[in-house]
Amino acid sequence: MEHYTMNLTLKVWRQKNAKSEGHLETYQVSDISSEMSFLEMFDVLNEQLIRDGKEPIAFDHDCREGICGMCSMYINGKPHGPWQANTTCQLHMRAFKDGDTIVVEPWRANAFPVVKDLVVDRTAFDRIIQAGGYVSVNTGNAVDGNAIPIEKDKADAAFAAAMCIGCGACVAACKNSSAMLFLSAKVSHLALLPQGAPERKSRVVNMVAQMDKEGFGACTNTGACEAACPKEISLSNIARLNQEYLTASLVSEK
């Protein structure tokens, strides 16, 4: 793969806190390697700002391996940037060309208030998960892997749903700032498994109630969430969530 360097113009959102007004600031970065990750390029920019006596740009990151979901950046109008099924930390600069202008913003959602610059508060997701409560299974001695027979198609679907990393790209991509794809993934991976059966009905009712309380918008099935998801969580999970919620609601009314 050909290696090259580039000079870029960055327009980055700067905002002191949730209550202050934000704005885009323009920066120039030079000799950026095509093999750098997007976050490594931001490291270079921050080192440049520190050398110039300016405040570095705040952005979230942790594992830098596409696992933790921290690297939430809205890049040129797309959550996590131009590559499909990819997190910001795994986006490499070869996705851009010399002379490009790149606009970087935080997630835009009332339920994700800006903390500073590109950092948003995503603890609403944590509270939704907490609302689901515990799974009442015996966590004592380890059991054999095949002790509880599970149909392969259900096991595969549960595993695919469990791949959700809670990054919030689905919310950022949705015109309504809906969290339905995230919630449906969390509900589905337990609803599909026998281990999740005891709290199955209360879990979905409580999690949906918490999602609404957090102020996320409604789902209108445009599919933008699935298209932006770095782990390719399927829209079919939303259908499953609706089914789970309807079933739980009907049972609770009896």
Identify the CATH number of the domain in which residue 238 sits. Answer: 1.10.1060.10
Q: Of 43, 77, 105, which residue constitutes the final position of a domain?
A: 105
Q: Give me the pLDDT at residue 34, please.
A: 97
pLDDT value at residue 1: 65
The alpha carbons of the chain give a radius of gyration, in whole angstroms, of 21
How large is the average pLDDT for residues 90-113?
A: 97
Pairing of strands 119-120, 114-116: antiparallel
Indicate whether 78 and 26 sit together in one domain.
Answer: yes
Whole-prediction pTM: 0.93
Do 12 and 70 reside in the same domain of the chain?
Answer: yes
- pLDDT surpassing 70 at residue 252: no
Do 138 and 27 fall into the same domain?
no
**Contact (Cβ atoms closer than 8 angstroms) between residue 196 and residue 190:** yes
Residues 6+ apart with CB under 8 A from 125: 166, 168, 179, 182
Contact by Cβ (8 Å): 93, 33: yes
Tokens read off for 211: 């999602």
Same domain, 101 and 151: no
10 and 129 belong to one structural domain? no
Banded model confidence at residue 159, pLDDT cuts 50, 70, 90: very high
Asked whether residue 114 is domain-assigned, the answer is: no
One-letter amino acid at 60 equals D
Mean pLDDT of 141-162: 87
Confidence of residue 138 (pLDDT cuts 50, 70, 90): confident
How many domains does the chain fold into? 2
Tokens of 163: 């791949």
Cβ within 8 Å of residue 237, ≥6 positions away: 161, 181, 184, 185, 187, 188
Tell me, yes or no, whether 230 and 146 share the same domain: yes
* DSSP 8-class letter at 88: G
Q: Are 33 and 98 in contact (CB under 8 A)?
A: no
To the nearest whole number, what is the mean pLDDT of the chain?
Answer: 94
Residues 21 and 141 in one domain: no
Q: Containing domain of residue 75, as a range? A: 5-105
Angle value at C-alpha 96, between 90 and 97, nearest 5 degrees: 150
Could you identify the residue written with the tokens 């309807």? Answer: 246
Are 88 and 144 contained in the same domain? no
pLDDT, tens digit, 9 for 90 and up, residues 197-227: 999 999 999 999 999 999 999 999 999 999 9
Residue 130 domain-assigned? yes
- Burial degree of 253 (CB within 10 A; 0-12, 13-18, 19+): exposed
Is the Cβ–Cβ distance between 72 and 120 less than 8 Å?
Answer: yes
The pLDDT-based confidence of 123 (bands split at 50, 70, 90) is very high
In this structure, is residue 162 part of a structural domain?
yes
Higher pLDDT, 148 or 13: 13
Torsion 132-63-54-105 (CA) sign: negative
Q: State which amino acid sits at residue 76.
A: N
CATH code where residue 101 lies: 3.10.20.30
Query: Considering the chain, what percentage of its residues have pLDDT values greater than 90?
Result: 89
Rounded Cα gap, residues 182 and 161, in angstroms: 9
169 in a structural domain: yes
Q: Are residues 89 and 126 in the same domain?
A: no
Residue that finishes a domain, picked among 105, 140, 167: 105
Q: Which amino acid is at 71?
A: C
Q: Report d(CA 8, CA 24) in Å as an integer.
A: 16
